[in-house]
Structure 1
Amino acid sequence: MRLVMFDIDGTLTQTVQADDACFVRALADVFAFRDVVPDWSTYRHCSDSGILAELFLRRTGRALLAIELATFQAYFLSLLTAAIEAQPFSAVDGAAAMLTHLSDHSKFAVSLASGAWEASARLKLASAGLHLPETPGAFADTAPAREDIMRASFASAARTQARESFDGVTYIGDGVWDARASRNLGYRFIGIARDPAKAERLYAEGASHVFENYLDADAFLAALHDC
């Protein structure tokens, strides 16, 4: 059995722009951190917890307090909720059908490994019509480093499947940080990107395949079997 591990924003849900906008606004409204450019690849750990901790240290010279983190998370979640009320989020085309297929296939196990906090991740998934309460996963609440989040997702999937390991792991993501973390862990990586330049960048970072979406199910499944 091979584990297929999914990122969320930009991979399962079309939420990157809305998520970035809400995160940047929350930084300005809660901490008065302005002029933040959402190029998260420049941060040591590309996760909500990692970005916030690093940026807070840069701007204030001290570590973020637990109460400050809770305040930021609550406000960020309220912004996402308002964004959803204005315009519900969409899933990446074909994502729901692919998740169902893989979950029903005896050769594959499915898990989530997202750099988002779990509350916001679950909110975005639900808005996009991807209800995955039974799917094991790990999020930015677990750790700031993407590799640690992925390790925790692996462990959660292994417990769910009542096994110690898998025949292999393929991570599905849309960011260069996803590709780099996969390489660091020895996982295979398949990219999701609609922009040709972004696709080329993912290939350059080690992606075996890059797809715009999951509509060509046969090609995507063939890529999984190739890994």
Structure 2
Amino acid sequence: MSEGQACAVIFDVDGVILHLTPPEEAAFFQALELVFGIDDASPDWDSYRARNDVEIVEELIETRLNRPAVPDDLIAFTDKYISLVDVAIRTGEIEVLQVDGIRDVLMALTQMENLIMGLATANLMGMAKMRLRHVGLNDFFKVGGFAEARGPKRQILRTTMAGLQDEKGNPIPKERVVFLGDNVGDVDAGLANGCGLIAFSEDRGKHQKLSDAGATHIIGSHTETLAVIEELLGRSVIG
């Protein structure tokens, strides 16, 4: 690929940029109880129809409250959830933890000519951005797809990719896009959207599962990330 052509690197948030800590997970279920009185939601994210924060809330309202969710439900939940986590971060009860090496990766990518960075996450947009802001990482990302896009991760990634444009407003083709995700749903998303795919997990015990899902570029540390991005984009990150 020509050094001057625009390209993009898209990141999942949890497991790739930030660790999802137990107190952060607990706040999700605390908000459900405070807003809706739902106190028996499963902590197993894979037990829900879709691994998407919006759709999990909607599913729980349908199955526990026996009614369809309405827009005001999501607004009330989002406000409470973000408030709980934001206050807990400010008081020190929750610490937002970066995945080792991610800041160095992002800083290096800012030196790459005509490269855009984006997000594709099943987190609520306000929550993802708030957590990233607390560790000074939000401004790296110019475009994003979030839980509000609904659907599986392949739909969220498609939303992000649809928003990618070069300096002249032209769309950036999928061949010039790399996506970093950490689970089999992310692998499916990358393959379905035809972009470059890096499966990332610090837990090397998960690598076989990622491979079985179809990932061919699997790494366990961000010390490897830039080299694989260079390989997939066919150009140097720096220089």
| Alignment of 1:44 onto 2:49 | yes
Offset at residue 152 of structure 1 (A)? 1.7
Aligned amino acid, residue 93 of structure 1 = D
The aligned runs of 1:72-111 (5 Å cut-off) are: 72-85=77-90, 86=92, 87-106=94-113, 108-111=115-118
- Which residue is 1:207 aligned to? 215
Q: Is the 8 A contact 1:4 1:169 kept in 2?
A: yes
User: Gaps (5+ residues) in structure 1?
Assistant: none
Local SS of the residue matching 1:203: helix
Distance 1:160 1:122, change over 3 A: farther
| Alignment of 1:198 onto 2:206 | yes
Local SS of the residue matching 1:158: coil
TM-score of the pair, normalised by structure 2: 0.82
Distance 1:135 1:122, change over 3 A: same
Q: Is the 8 A contact 1:209 1:223 kept in 2?
A: no
Note the alpha carbon deviations across 1:124-144, whole angstroms, 9 max, x for none.
Answer: 111233132652112122334
The aligned runs of 1:51-200 (5 Å cut-off) are: 51-85=56-90, 86=92, 87-106=94-113, 108-132=115-139, 135-158=142-165, 162-166=169-173, 167-200=175-208
Q: Is the 8 A contact 2:181 2:187 kept in 1?
A: yes
TM-score of the pair, normalised by structure 1: 0.86
Aligned amino acid, residue 28 of structure 2 = F
Distance 1:114 1:161, change over 3 A: farther
Structure 1 Cα separation of the partners of residues 223 and 84 of structure 2: 31
User: Gaps (5+ residues) in structure 2?
Assistant: 1-5, 235-239
Aligned amino acid, residue 149 of structure 1 = I
Offset at residue 4 of structure 1 (A)? 1.6
Which residue of 4, 7, 11 corresponds with 1:6?
11
Local SS of the residue matching 1:137: strand
Q: Is the 8 A contact 1:91 1:129 kept in 2?
A: no
Q: Is the 8 A contact 1:9 1:16 kept in 2?
A: no
Higher mean displacement: 173-182 or 208-217: 208-217
Structure 2 Cα separation of the partners of residues 16 and 159 of structure 1: 36
Q: Is the 8 A contact 2:124 2:146 kept in 1?
A: yes
Offset at residue 74 of structure 1 (A)? 1.0
Offset at residue 154 of structure 1 (A)? 0.9
The aligned runs of 1:23-42 (5 Å cut-off) are: 23-42=28-47
Structure 1 residue ranges, 4+ long, deviating more than 6 angstroms after superposition: none
Structure 2 Cα separation of the partners of residues 73 and 218 of structure 1: 34
Structure 2 Cα separation of the partners of residues 192 and 139 of structure 1: 19
Offset at residue 25 of structure 1 (A)? 1.9
- Which residue is 2:237 aligned to? none
Structure 2 Cα separation of the partners of residues 174 and 161 of structure 1: 32
Higher mean displacement: 170-179 or 69-78: 170-179
Number of aligned residue pairs: 227
Offset at residue 121 of structure 1 (A)? 0.6
Larger radius of gyration: 2
Question: Equivalent pairs: percent with the same residue?
Answer: 27
